[in-house]
Structure 1
Amino acid sequence: MQILELSFVAAVLLAATPVLFASLAGALSAQVGVFNIALEGQMLWGAFSAVAASYYTGSAWAGVFTAIVSTAVFSLALAVGAARWKADPIVIAIGSNLFALGITGFLMRVLFDVSGSFSPRGLQGLEKMRWLEGIPVIGPIFAGQTPLVPLALVLIVAVGLWLKFSPRGLRLRGVGEHPEAASSLGINVSGYQFWVTIAAGALCGIAGAQLSLGNVTVFTENMTAGRGWIAVAAVMLVAGRPLWLPVACLGFGAAEALGFRLQGVGAPQQLTDAAPYAITLLVLVATRIRFPARRASISTESTP
């Protein structure tokens, strides 16, 4: 079993990419003061809608687009409830997760007359970047990946720098850190929270599409299998520093990729399946993490 070869690095990136997109969604929500634990349900809905659209249209990219749009719409409940009505986002998010689990299983039976998993012949998955083959180092790592894999890394760096250095990014951070001060400056706090929550939903749609059309080409009930919760843990781990998200998420990807290789040498599947989540839990326990307790709870109307 070789874990220091380039194919292992490629497996780590593949496993980590859906969590990277979802954790970026969670980090953006946290920046505006919305503790978003609906990532699991939003990813699951994104995975289902991507497969369904790919099946009906014959295009994987149509599946990705549908996942982005439909998951953004799916996140409206959280956006309206938390940003407009100031309801508890945790309660709404738990309801969203349960709804996503139920509705995807129901629609599988209604639309496709199957249960458990849906993998019809001819289902279009995302194409790989085969044109990178032959390039040293880069080729073995990225040639077998979809374009969404490098996109995740680029987006996290771009968003992290935007939040740190751009005026709008600093304003967005201020909405979450000091909502009263932001409101006093005429910033529409609830507007920022609403649209960032919608954008987070779109990112979860990409995460789900990568999971169901990139990592594999199939949809199975509850196929996210806790990845949304891993993304929540990654957001808590980096404590408001999105540029550190790849470190946290690649750690999860490494644990999952190592688990698959351990299965190849006879390790029990139950042990290897639990390894990524156990490692995440141990990291959270060992690290003193405190999510900002204050959420935006001021008036949503901007001052003139």
Structure 2
Amino acid sequence: MSENVGKIFNLSLIYATFRASTPIIYAALCAAITQQANILNIGTEGIMLVGAFTAVAISYFTGSWILGVLAAMLGGAMIAMIMAVSHIKYNSEICAIGMGINLLAIALTKFMLQVFFHTSGSFSNPAIVAIPKLHFSFLENVPFLNTLLNDWRFTEWFVIVFILLLQFIFYKTVWGLRLRAVGQFPMAAQTAGIQANAVKYQAMLISGLIGGLAGAHLSLGYVLNL
């Protein structure tokens, strides 16, 4: 019994769990940024979906995963700014906008899949360049660390760095203070001279970039690794 448990619960399982959780972590960070500004980003799923499709399409046509990731982040930012303008400028209900974006993203990606790749449901091709794995040769002779830390995708390492970076930005920078002030005490922030809407736009833009990156990792980093 103990031998079977040992075969199931091993270092490979730890990495597999983290690998499967990485897109969700990115999505959570995407929502956490806007939440600090008191904006409930319901459209995170739609942003990720647009990012995932864009990353695959650009990677396929250009042969570059870097361009795919950058294009996915740009696509996510565009979707986020549509939400931002609708909510901040025109005072539309953010939950309704988010649900609309999610439905639009599903329809749009299905349509574009049919237009560009003449298929529906899913698309796979050897020409799609995946996000590369980082291999550290100095870990090869250390069984524990080699199994646990070697051959991670670039975006899997970056999500750990970004968690720490975001923590620092929220609580150790002037912009983070302004962001939290706009979200928690908007009237006091405006009295202090903070441009609340500008900060909200910035939060939505960054959220869109990270949501697009989440989609890129989902399609070029996680799915292609299955």
TM-score, normalized by the shorter chain, greater than 0.5:
yes
- The number of residue pairs the alignment matches comes to 219
For 1:112, give the aligned amino acid. F
Unpaired segments ≥5 residues, structure 1: 219-259, 261-304
Which of 204, 210, 217 is the aligned partner of 2:224? 217
Task: Give yes or no for the alignment of 1:36 onto 2:41.
Answer: yes
Which of 156, 169, 178 is the aligned partner of 2:176? 169
Which of 67, 72, 79 is the aligned partner of 2:77? 72
Taking the aligned partners of 2:25 and 2:147, their CA distance within structure 1 comes to 21
For 1:134, give the aligned amino acid. E
Equivalent residue runs for 1:47-62 within 5 Å: 47-62=52-67
Task: Give yes or no for the alignment of 1:142 onto 2:149.
Answer: yes
**Which of the two has greater helix per residue?**
2
Instruction: State the secondary structure of the residue aligned to 1:117.
Output: coil
Q: Does the aligned pair in 2 maintain the 1:53–1:62 contact within 8 Å?
A: yes
Which of 128, 144, 158 is the aligned partner of 2:165? 158
Taking the aligned partners of 1:89 and 1:215, their CA distance within structure 2 comes to 30
Shift of 1:140: 1.6
Equivalent residue runs for 1:155-304 within 5 Å: 155-217=162-224
Q: Match of 1:289? A: none
Q: Match of 1:285? A: none
Q: Does the aligned pair in 2 maintain the 1:129–1:142 contact within 8 Å?
A: no
Over the aligned positions, Cα root-mean-square deviation in angstroms equals 1.7
Percent of residue pairs bearing the same amino acid type: 33
For 2:17, give the aligned amino acid. V
Taking the aligned partners of 1:151 and 1:159, their CA distance within structure 2 comes to 12
User: Which TM-score applies when normalising by structure 1?
Assistant: 0.69
For 1:18, give the aligned amino acid. P
Taking the aligned partners of 1:142 and 1:88, their CA distance within structure 2 comes to 44
Taking the aligned partners of 2:174 and 2:53, their CA distance within structure 1 comes to 37
User: Which TM-score applies when normalising by structure 2?
Assistant: 0.92
Any idea what the Cα deviations from partners look like across 1:212-236, whole Å, max 9, x if unmatched?
Answer: 0001229xxxxxxxxxxxxxxxxxx
Q: Match of 1:45? A: 50
- Range 128-137 or range 59-68, more displaced: 128-137
Shift of 1:135: 5.7
Task: Give yes or no for the alignment of 1:16 onto 2:12.
Answer: no
Which of 120, 127, 142 is the aligned partner of 1:115? 120
Taking the aligned partners of 1:212 and 1:139, their CA distance within structure 2 comes to 25
Taking the aligned partners of 1:48 and 1:143, their CA distance within structure 2 comes to 28
For 1:24, give the aligned amino acid. L
Q: Does the aligned pair in 1 maintain the 2:178–2:199 contact within 8 Å?
A: no
